[in-house]
Amino acid sequence: MTKLSVNINKIATLRNARGGNIPNVKTAAINCELFGADGITVHPRPDERHIRYRDVLEIRPVIKTEFNIEGYPSDKFIELVLSVKPDQVTLVPDAHDAITSNAGWNVPRFRLFLADVVSVFRKEGIRTSIFVDTDPVNIETAAMTGADRVELYTEPYAAGFDKDAPSAIAPFINAAKIARDSGLGLNAGHDLNLDNLRYLHQNIPWIDEVSIGHALISDALYLGLENTIQMYRRQLAG
């Protein structure tokens, strides 16, 4: 079954808007797991506008399922990852001022850089995933870096889903097959929600993991966190 990793960045955003420690990010991570999440994702950025580096250090000891850290592999980020040794690190080509992730890696251009970073994490037993779009060249080249998985950037799928779902999913099915044929595990994330997640999973049932934050936390404001996590899990059950 495809795992659901809950990205808790937005909980930290809410906390930071007021200061203090409400809502408590550590407690949120614990509760997400208790409510059925298969993992916790965080994406610390250099300005720490949501998840702070200190949060990552505090959260790590309480994670019982799987811990995934996303981010651009700067020296500071690499140092953080090596200090906490998450189960997975996802390499994302974010500019320092990006509001959210908005593109995958140009893997051929950065292949040697990514290979070096992947090598550092592999030596520590940390699974590595590279954030990519559906271009076959990027996926095939990602396999050359030594990465364990790729994560498909699904915003284009989400944007086209309501207009023409079969056309929107087609390049992702092709990309997923290329990843599988290249010996790569497969993750997916960005703008996935209760409307489009089931269709994605039905067409690409071998996805190892989806990482969902913004939509899930937003839904939880209306539906409750426990109920929302269970609703998302049901989208991955059939």
44 cis-preceded (ω within 30 degrees of 0):
no
Is 190 in the active site? yes
Is 70 in the active site? yes
Residue 7: strand pairing partners: 41
Percent of the chain scoring above 90 in pLDDT:
92
82 is written with which tokens? Answer: 């090596």
Q: At residue 80, does pLDDT exceed 80?
A: yes
Is 214 in the active site? no
Total domains in the chain come to 1
Give the pLDDT mean for 45-64: 94
pLDDT of residue 101: 58
pLDDT tens-digit readout, 178-234? 999 999 999 999 999 999 999 999 999 999 999 999 999 999 999 999 999 999 999
CA distance 65 to 6: 11
CA distance 47 to 53: 10
| Options 70, 151, 155, 209, the catalytic residue | 70
Q: Domain containing 196 — which CATH number?
A: 3.20.20.70
| Options 43, 50, 201, 209, the catalytic residue | 43
* Residue 94 domain boundaries: 3-235
Contact between residue 101 and residue 121 where contact means Cβ atoms under 8 Å apart: no
Q: At residue 97, does pLDDT exceed 80?
A: no
Which pTM was predicted?
Answer: 0.94
pLDDT of residue 48: 87
CA-based torsion, 77, 218, 99, 132: positive or negative: positive
| Options 33, 66, 151, 190, the catalytic residue | 190
pLDDT tens-digit readout, 143-161? 999 999 999 999 999 999 9
Q: Which DSSP state fits 236?
A: T
CA distance 30 to 40: 9
Q: At residue 102, does pLDDT exceed 70?
A: no
